[in-house]
A and B are shown apart, each in its own frame.
Chain A
């Protein structure tokens, strides 16, 4: 176990549904990340939160809405998704000092299928 948990592990939803993915880190880190992993494509960074402030939004469609209520929890709210949004969504955390990139610890992911 890496100290990062994600729920649910699997999610099937219709295009009109609203659902949320949850991530929790037990490592005392100050940065959290959402990634999207699709087949045959590089890991795509979606959002970055440093000290609960969103510092990165990589042109992600507004149907994905992140929320970081504290440094241990991160949510990804989903609404009116498209079938091409089906992917493995990975959460990660790290300790960021002076903005440098260090080791990231990943959760097991949520396998999302949009029908």
Chain B
């Protein structure tokens, strides 16, 4: 069964606005990661948050993790047209080297 599910499936915002994307998962995790994919290309790692962390920042990115609710959010502040891409959350259980990915969120940032 699918572990990570992102919400919403698609998001369209104006340049300069903030974008918030959510991810829910079902089982216990060791860490949760967010990836970005430009159309037809490979995924690029954005940020990793471990199960004992609640919040993490990287540049314009802010990730939160709530293990009691089994959910995470990715906030992109002051969005740019270049942020247009698909965003995926992935969960690692720590039991092996596998990650389980969600279907992804399509973010469109209008200039």
Q: Give the interface of A toward B (CB within 8 A).
A: 2, 4, 6, 31, 40-43, 45, 48, 50, 55-56, 88, 90, 92, 94, 96, 99-109, 111
**How long is the Cα–Cα vector from A100 to B48 in the complex, in angstroms?**
13
A90 touches B43 (CB 8 A): yes
**How long is the Cα–Cα vector from A94 to B45 in the complex, in angstroms?**
11
A48 touches B98 (CB 8 A): yes
A42 touches B97 (CB 8 A): no
Does B82 reach chain A (CB closer than 8 Å)? no
Q: Give the interface of B toward A (CB within 8 A).
A: 2, 30-31, 33, 35, 40-45, 48, 88, 90, 92-104
**How long is the Cα–Cα vector from A108 to B37 in the complex, in angstroms?**
10
Q: Can you list 21 contacts pairing A with B, beta carbon distance less than 8 Å?
A: A2-B42, A2-B44, A31-B97, A42-B2, A43-B101, A45-B98, A45-B99, A48-B96, A88-B40, A90-B43, A92-B42, A96-B97, A101-B31, A101-B96, A101-B97, A101-B99, A103-B48, A104-B43, A104-B99, A106-B43, A111-B40
